[in-house]
Each structure stands twice: as C-alpha cells, then as structure tokens.
C-alpha cells in the first residue's frame, strides 16, 4: 500500500501543469502586491482637457450652470495646486491628501455659493478659508495640522452628551497616536485604516449591544461585523501594531487568507490532478499493467485518492507560503509574520490573540471539507467517464455553482441541504453567523461527512466494477 502511494505521488509530481499553476499563482500575487503599492503620482494633475472643455462649454452661456460645472472648477483649482507643489505630486504624500481632502471640498463649497446660490458673502468667507489653507501648504507641517485639530476638539463643548464625549476622546486618542507613530493623513493603508476604524467606532457606539433585541438577522450580522472591526483594530492600536508602513496586504495577512481560501488556482490544481490521475491510466492503457500487479482494486484506488489529496493539501500550503514570501519581499514586512494575529470571538465578545501559523492552520482546517468533496467528486466523474475534459468541466462548474447557490439559500431553503453551501466552515468560526438562518454547524457537519462518505463509496464501487477490456 505504501509503495502504491509513493508511486502515485511520483506520477503526480511529474505533471508539469502542477508547477505552472504554482508559478502563475505566485506571479499573480506579486503583480497584485505591486499594483497595490503603485504610487499614483500626478494622476489628478494630468489630463485636464476634459475639465477645461467642460468649463468653456458652461461659460459660453449655452448650458445652465449645475453641479458638474462646480466639480470641474474645483477639480481644475485642485490640479493647479498639485502641479505647483512638488511634494503634492506624490499620491501617498500628506500634501496630496491635504489638497484633495481639505482644500478641494472648500473649493467646491466656494464655487457652489458663488455660482449656484449667488451668495457672495458666504462665498467670500469660504474663500478666506481656502486662502488660509493654501498658505499652510507653502510650508506644510502635517503635525501642526493635527495639533490644530487637537486644540479644536479640546474646545468643543459636549454638554454632557455621552456620545459626543466618547467620540471626541477617541478622536483625540487617534490624533495623538498619529503624532506618536508618525502617521500623517495620507492615502496610505496606515492612515486610511485609522480613518475607517474611527467611522466604525462611531457606528458601534450607536449600536444596541443586547443581541436579543435584534429582530433582523441582517442587522445583527451588520452589528457584529462593525463590532469585530472595531475591537480588533483597537487592539492593534493599543499594542502599537499600526505604523506608517502598515498595509492591508501584509505577508501575515497573505499567508492566513491564502491558507483559508479555495482560490481559482487551488481549484485548477484539484481538477487537474483529480481528473488526470484516473483518466490517464485508461487513456494510455497503463491501467491494465497496474491491475495485473498483486494489489486489489480497492487498494489501488485508495492509494490514488491519498496521493491526490496529499498533493492538493500540500499545494495549498506551498502556495500560501510562496505568496506570503512574495508579499514580504515587495512590502518589506516579514516582521508581521511574528506579530500576534488578531481574531475575534462572538461567543465571548472579545479579542483572541494567536500566532500566524496557528491562525493559518485554523483557516486551513475550515476549508478542508470543500477541498475533499470537490476532489472526490472530480475523481468520481473521472472514474465514470475516464475523460479529462468532462471531469475538469464538472469540477469547475461545481465550484462556480457554489457561489451562485449561496445567494439563494434564504429564498429556497432546500438549497441549504446541498453540500456546496455547507462546505466552508469558516462561516461558523468563533461563533460567527452565516448569512442564512438555514445554515447550522451541526447540519453542515452531517451533510459534508455524509457527502464525502457517499462519494468515496461511489468511487470504490465504480472503480471496482470498471470494465477495462476495451482499454
């Protein structure tokens, strides 16, 4: 049996397609990471012809002024500021962010009051603010801007409004965190993630904490998502895990997410290996040589199944490691691999801390049912038809169908009994709620185990009684 298993592994690892898929998955990860890090310098400063033509058309008097004209005017003014400031030409710079997120809205308000509302007094007041901000840009100091914001918040009166007090306290905490960790307002992931957290925090403050009061499943899930995002990110802030180099696509994130997802590359690996191991034996006529050896058909097919699953499971691990390494090289953030991995438990409503390896393996365990069922199904089709094309097509169509069926579980409860919507156990992890009320952990376990057993029995029976006389 062991010898059979080793021989099957030897055959599988001589398939060039397996290595091609692996290389493509690594290259795609590298491409996505590079694209995520591209400095979009000068994007807004270029291609001004459209706005210029639009403004001319409106100012000719043939078209009534509207918001499109206002947007074109403010965009042109913004582009001019970027053009005249070397630092602002860098997309991720604090200057670029200041112009596009602080000055441009003021320009928009100024032109709106001046041209649409014909309110010159208000327009002149806003123009003074614009001029003041433009002057700040000449010798821009992002720390001064944050300190000014801190002083403004400190003078804000909340009149014992608990929500106002908490929001201001959190804002002060975040502003000071930016100063202490050198995270200016910018379009970097570090800054944007802090802004996102602040928005989630304000939303979470207003949510009902008693889950028994939620009548709608969707609203409860939405509350939980906000809770999870708020609590996990706050832990990262409290433990100084967020700095200016922070990225949403770190090597740690890449490893854990890759270990916990059946990507298209994994699916291609499954159908390539599962469909060819059996079909090739029949198509090349080597099945006769295999069956004359002193091994029962049951042992032969079991050895093949073990070799197929071993290859696929190993492929997922190697792809995850490879993608993580590529991400770490490009982002220079291998240190994130030793950072604590932050998860959230809805059972205890608290943060759970783990290491990167355990978190990845945990996610990996959640997708094993999907890998096993898809593999067994493809092998079964391969045994029945001994045709690579048919088994490959069935495998890919099954994978695609899973995503479609998930959208209709609530509309058609009978769909909740189909293995394809039950095989991803990450939807139950740490007390999480699946989107559909018809999906339950115990039910999913029963369906997936039963399906795997039935597919395995089907493979054994059909292979055992397969006629090879004409092969």
Q: Which of 189, 221, 246 is the last residue of a domain?
A: 246
56 shares a domain with 78? yes
pTM as predicted: 0.85
Classify residue 350 by its DSSP letter.
Answer: E
Q: Does residue 255 lie within any of the structural domains?
A: yes
* Residue 384 and residue 462 in contact, taking contact as beta carbons nearer than 8 Å: yes
343 shares a domain with 215? no
Q: What is the pLDDT along the chain (471 residues), one digit of tens a residue?
A: 677 777 777 777 777 888 888 898 888 888 877 777 665 554 444 556 777 777 777 777 777 778 888 888 899 899 889 988 888 888 889 999 999 999 999 999 999 998 888 899 999 999 999 999 999 988 899 999 999 999 999 988 888 889 999 999 999 999 999 999 999 999 999 999 999 999 999 999 999 988 888 888 999 999 999 999 999 999 999 999 999 989 888 899 999 999 999 888 888 888 888 887 777 766 666 665 666 566 677 888 888 899 999 999 999 999 999 999 988 888 888 888 999 999 999 999 999 999 999 999 999 999 999 999 999 999 999 888 877 788 888 889 999 999 899 999 988 999 999 999 999 999 999 999 998 999 999 999 999 999 999 999 999 888 887 766 555
Q: Does residue 471 lie within any of the structural domains?
A: no
391 shares a domain with 262? yes
Domain holding 85, by residue range, is 40-140
51 shares a domain with 30? no
Q: Does residue 48 lie within any of the structural domains?
A: yes
Distance CA 223, CA 355 (A): 27
Question: 353: which strand partners?
Answer: 342
380 shares a domain with 294? yes
* Residue 393 and residue 381 in contact, taking contact as beta carbons nearer than 8 Å: no
160 shares a domain with 92? no
272 shares a domain with 240? no
Backbone φ and ψ for 406, nearest 5 degrees, come out as -55, -30
Q: Which of 140, 170, 203 is the last residue of a domain?
A: 140
Backbone φ and ψ for 354, nearest 5 degrees, come out as -140, 180
Q: Which of 246, 270, 300 is the last residue of a domain?
A: 246
């Amino acid at each position: 049996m062991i010898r059979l298993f080793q021989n099957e592994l030897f055959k599988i690892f001589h398939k060039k397609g397996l290595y091609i898929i692996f290389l493509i998955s690594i290259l795609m990860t590298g491409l996505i990471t590079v694209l995520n890090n591209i400095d979009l310098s000068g994007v807004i400063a270029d291609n001004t012809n459209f706005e210029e033509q639009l403004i001319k058309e409106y100012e000719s008097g043939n078209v009534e002024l509207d918001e499109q004209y206002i947007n074109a005017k403010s965009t042109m003014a913004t582009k001019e500021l970027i053009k005249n400031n070397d630092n602002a030409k860098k997309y991720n710079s604090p200057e670029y962010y200041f112009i596009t997120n602080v000055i441009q809205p003021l320009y928009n308000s100024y032109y709106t009051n001046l041209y649409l509302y014909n309110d010159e007094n208000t327009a002149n007041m806003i123009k003074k603010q614009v001029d003041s901000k433009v002057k700040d840009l000449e010798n821009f100091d992002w720390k001064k801007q944050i300190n000014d914001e801190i002083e403004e918040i400190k003078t804000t009166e909340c009149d014992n409004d608990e929500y106002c007090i908490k929001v201001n306290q959190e804002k002060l905490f975040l502003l000071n965190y930016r100063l202490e960790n050198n995270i200016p307002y910018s379009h970097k992931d570090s800054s944007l993630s802090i802004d996102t957290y602040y928005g989630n925090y304000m939303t979470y403050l207003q949510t009902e904490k008693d889950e028994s009061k939620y009548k709608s499943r969707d609203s409860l899930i939405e509350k939980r998502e906000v809770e999870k995002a708020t609590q996990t990110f706050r832990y990262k802030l409290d433990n100084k895990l967020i700095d200016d180099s922070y990225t949403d696509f770190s090597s740690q994130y890449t490893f854990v997410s890759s270990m916990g997802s059946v990507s298209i590359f994994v699916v291609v690996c499954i159908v390539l290996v599962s469909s060819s191991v059996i079909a090739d034996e029949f198509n090349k006529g080597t099945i006769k040589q295999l069956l004359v050896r002193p091994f029962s058909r049951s042992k032969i097919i079991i050895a093949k199944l073990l070799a197929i699953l071993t290859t696929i499971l190993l492929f997922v691990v190697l792809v995850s490691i490879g993608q993580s390494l590529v991400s770490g090289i490009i982002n220079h953030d291998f240190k994130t691999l030793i950072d604590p991995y932050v998860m959230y438990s809805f059972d205890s409503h608290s943060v759970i801390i783990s290491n990167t390896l355990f978190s990845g393996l945990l996610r990996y365990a959640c997708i094993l049912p999907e890998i096993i069922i898809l593999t067994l199904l493809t092998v079964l089709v391969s045994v029945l038809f001994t045709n690579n094309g048919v088994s490959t097509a069935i495998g890919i169509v099954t994978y695609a169908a899973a995503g479609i069926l998930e959208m209709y579980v609530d509309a058609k409860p009978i769909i909740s009994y189909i293995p394809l919507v039950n095989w991803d156990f990450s939807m139950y992890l740490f007390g999480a709620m699946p989107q559909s009320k018809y999906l339950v952990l115990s039910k999913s376990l029963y369906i997936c185990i039963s399906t795997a057993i039935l597919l395995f029995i089907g493979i054994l029976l059909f292979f055992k009684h397969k006629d090879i006389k004409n092969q």
